[in-house]
């Protein structure tokens, strides 16, 4: 099982599609288009930020906990399904979800009680997975690391209104804060082998040479982990030549 990681607009879904086609495996995408809570969450963030500016120090986003439990529930279901096959791909890590919940709690969008309940639920869910009692999960996490400028460019390009800083200026602070949390997440992550891809340097969507380089990096790690034979790697690489 391969997991993609990265901030909003980093290209996780695009690389998930590219990699699943390359390996002939099944992609599992983050529930965004069919997520009724996500637009409410962004609106709630905007409202909570305005209330805090007006002096309401305890103003929270009423949709923060709901959104994260929605993602947690869907992610857990997808992990169980992805584990039924070889080299299936998830376009976000369940451990990233926990980071989002931590950040929203630190920002005041969620309460400490909500965070505690979320953490207990996450712990109970992870304990039900087959690899729960192993020292390391038996998969690879690919982290697409991008700058603020690249993230904003891609967010603007895909055009979801509720993600735009031009529509909601409070997102500027939110996105910068999220980048800092991702930096800390990268440094402390120890759940699986972590492969970091420079998303500013490699345009794996538009540039075929960059795409091949990124696929080579990922498949080399898969060979090292024993999840892909050297012979199969050579075949995949030759097919792209």
Q: Could you tell me how far CA 93 lies from the centroid of its own chain?
A: 5
Report the residue count for the chain. Answer: 241
Distance CA(115)–CA(191), nearest Å, equals 21
Question: Would the annotation count 42 as a binding residue?
Answer: yes
Q: Half-sphere exposure of 142 toward its Cβ, with a 13 Å CA cutoff?
A: 28
**Torsion sign over Cα 31, 169, 187, 114:** negative
Question: Would the annotation count 79 as a binding residue?
Answer: no
Question: Would the annotation count 108 as a binding residue?
Answer: no
Question: Would the annotation count 7 as a binding residue?
Answer: yes
Question: Would the annotation count 240 as a binding residue?
Answer: no
Question: Would the annotation count 157 as a binding residue?
Answer: yes
Q: Which long-range contacts (CB under 8 A, 24 or more apart) does 119-124 make?
A: 121/69, 121/72, 122/72, 122/94, 122/97, 122/98
User: Cα angle vertex 110, ends 99, 35, to 5°?
Assistant: 70
Question: Would the annotation count 14 as a binding residue?
Answer: yes
Question: Would the annotation count 226 as a binding residue?
Answer: no
Choose the catalytic residue: 34, 58, 91, 190: 91
Question: Would the annotation count 54 as a binding residue?
Answer: no
Is 190 noted as a catalytic residue in this protein?
Answer: no
Give me the active site residues, please.
91
Can you say which residues are annotated as belonging to the binding site for substrate?
Answer: 30, 42, 68, 92, 97, 163
Can you say which residues are annotated as belonging to the binding site for ATP?
Answer: 6-14, 154-158
């Amino acid at each position: 099982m391969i997991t993609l990681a990265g901030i909003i607009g980093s290209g996780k879904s695009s690389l998930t599609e590219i990699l699943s086609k390359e390996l002939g495996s099944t992609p599992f995408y983050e529930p965004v288009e069919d997520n009724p809570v996500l637009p409410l969450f962004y609106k709630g963030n905007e409202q909570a930020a305005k209330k805090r500016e007006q002096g309401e120090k305890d103003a929270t986003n009423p949709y923060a906990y709901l959104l994260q439990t929605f993602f947690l529930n869907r992610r857990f279901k997808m992990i169980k399904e992805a584990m039924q096959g070889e080299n299936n791909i998830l376009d976000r890590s369940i451990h990233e979800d926990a980071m989002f919940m931590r950040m929203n709690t630190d920002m005041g969008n969620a309460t400490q009680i909500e965070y505690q309940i979320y953490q207990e639920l996450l712990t109970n869910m992870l304990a039900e997975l087959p690899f729960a009692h192993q020292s390391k999960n038996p998969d690879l996490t690919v982290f697409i690391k991008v700058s603020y400028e690249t993230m904003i460019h891609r967010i603007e390009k895909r055009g979801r209104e509720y993600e735009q800083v031009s529509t909601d200026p409070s997102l500027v602070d939110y996105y910068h804060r999220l980048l800092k949390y991702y930096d800390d997440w990268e440094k402390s992550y120890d759940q699986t082998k972590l492969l970091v891809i420079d998303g500013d340097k490699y345009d794996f969507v538009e540039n075929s040479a960059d795409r091949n380089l990124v696929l080579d990096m990922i498949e080399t790690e898969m060979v090292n982990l024993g999840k892909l034979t050297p012979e199969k790697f050579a075949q995949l690489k030759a097919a792209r030549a």
